Amino acid sequence: MTTPDPSREPEPTKPAGTATTPYKDRVYRSPAGVVGGALVLAIVAWLGIDAVFVGEGRTPWLALATMLFLVPLVFAYTLRPAVFVNDDRLRIRNPLRLIVLPWGQVASLRSGFSNEVVDESGTKYQLWALPVSVRARSKAARQEARAARAAARAGQGGRGRGSGGAGVPGGAVGAADLGAGAALAADGPRRAETDQAMDELRELHERRQGEPGTQGEVTVRWAYEIIAPAVAGAVLLGVLWGLG
């Protein structure tokens, strides 16, 4: 499940001609990814620290090298991914890259086996923080089908309530079902959480892509703070195994 929440990171003021007050990004993350990553990091830290202090011979060095290799990668693929959105740009923090796309450079936002954004040059960028869940989509489809059936029953409310008869519990049950059906229908179509997030991004893109403050160049920066320690850990592991 992916839910948006306000960012705590301060942002600069908007360019002249838009607004002069500071504004913040809206952030989309994957709660399941964050929880899973935190658990994996806790297990790696527990086993690694235990091996460092209790192990003998090359074991402590192997444990340190393994942690140096694994911790950055686990962090990168679970805790790091996020999508930051404001009126001027879309900032995608993927495991190994940070991509900044002004809305004027966004051509489309697509949903298939993965959620991705396509810039004006045709380059695709996957949104790691908004993973597609087939299970969530199936659940939303079932809820939508139940809402449709409840709405259909609500349209036949008079006949459904009358069928119970006086003193028959079925009448009360029918009335309760109709009330629940009306509430489900009032909520609108069911959508998976990530699909709802993509709908919000598309709506904001349509509103803002032609504004003066949303123009600019697409920038991509590699996450060397993740890559460097992971490579160092891999090299150290190779050396230790090579030494036998």
Walk along the chain (244 residues) and give the pLDDT tens digit of each residue.
Answer: 555 554 444 444 444 434 434 457 899 999 999 999 999 999 999 999 999 999 888 899 999 999 999 999 999 999 999 999 999 999 999 999 999 999 999 999 998 888 999 999 999 999 999 988 655 455 545 555 565 556 666 666 555 554 444 444 444 444 444 454 444 444 555 667 888 889 999 999 999 988 888 899 999 999 999 999 999 999 999 999 888 6
Taking phi first (over 0 means left), then psi (-120 to 50 degrees means alpha), and beta for anything else, what does residue 216 get?
Answer: left
pTM of structure: 0.70
Q: 3-state class of 92 per DSSP? A: strand
Strands, sheet with 124-126, edge to edge from the N-terminal-most edge strand: 106-111, 115-119, 124-126
The terminus-to-terminus CA distance of the chain in angstroms comes to 45
Say what the pLDDT of residue 48 is: 94
pLDDT for res 176: 47
Distance CA 226, CA 77 (A): 10
35's tokens: 């929880």
Place of tokens 């997030």: 197
Are 154 and 181 within 8 A, CB to CB?
Answer: yes
pLDDT the model gives residue 194: 82
